[in-house]
Amino acid sequence: MTTALLIIDVQNDFCPGGLLAVEGGDAVVPVINRMQDDFPLVVATQDWHPAGHSSFADNHEGAEPFSTAEMPYGTQVLWPVHCVQGSDGAAFHPDLATDRISLIVRKGTDPSLDSYSAFFENDRKTSTGLAGYLRDKGVTALTLVGLATDFCVGWSALDARRLGFDVTLATDACRAIDLDGSLDAAMGNMRDAGVGIG
């Protein structure tokens, strides 16, 4: 085994009607379903926040969603409440095929620390353990799909490259938030890091 498909956060809250909806987020589902049979290993992530998470604007008096705050680990976007543990919004999109998913990495569970990447929390040091799992399975290359291109997908792609994996972004199976130019910035960072754009 050398290549795995990594499905990032295809959850109800990131799809139309969700609490942090990405435009066209549900359009990635049939594309991802078709892709899964092309890979010997399929892994997925879920945002899985406690209700009192420090990245939620509601937990900062007077803060507006999409403003920023300084955290011990750096600047943090303050998001609308989303993907709360056990909620319908945190569940995978109901049309996403999940039978072939061998591992689900739940991230953002520490109330004091957000986690965009599938590999590290936002302090850039705390590991999720995913890299070790992939290496134990003989994976050397990853194709990334899911939501959102400019945050969780992009951060995961950059960390995967930093960890030595070959990485391809399947753009037709991703959608972006595009917050103040974040999509162009993320795409540029990925290209600079050697991520293949497919």
Residue with tokens 């590999």: 119
For residue 146, which phi and psi values (nearest 5 degrees)? Answer: 125, -150
Q: List the catalytic residue out of 15, 83, 152, 174.
A: 152
Question: Beta partners for 69?
Answer: 76
> Does residue 152 carry a catalytic annotation?
yes
Query: What does each C-alpha distance from 151 to 47, 97, 185 come to in angstroms?
Result: 12, 23, 10
Q: List the catalytic residue out of 9, 26, 47, 159.
A: 9
Q: List the catalytic residue out of 13, 26, 47, 107.
A: 107
Q: Is 9 left (phi over 0), alpha (psi -120 to 50) or beta?
A: left
> Does residue 83 carry a catalytic annotation?
no
Q: SS3 of 109, please?
A: coil
> Does residue 114 carry a catalytic annotation?
no
Active site residues: 9, 107, 152
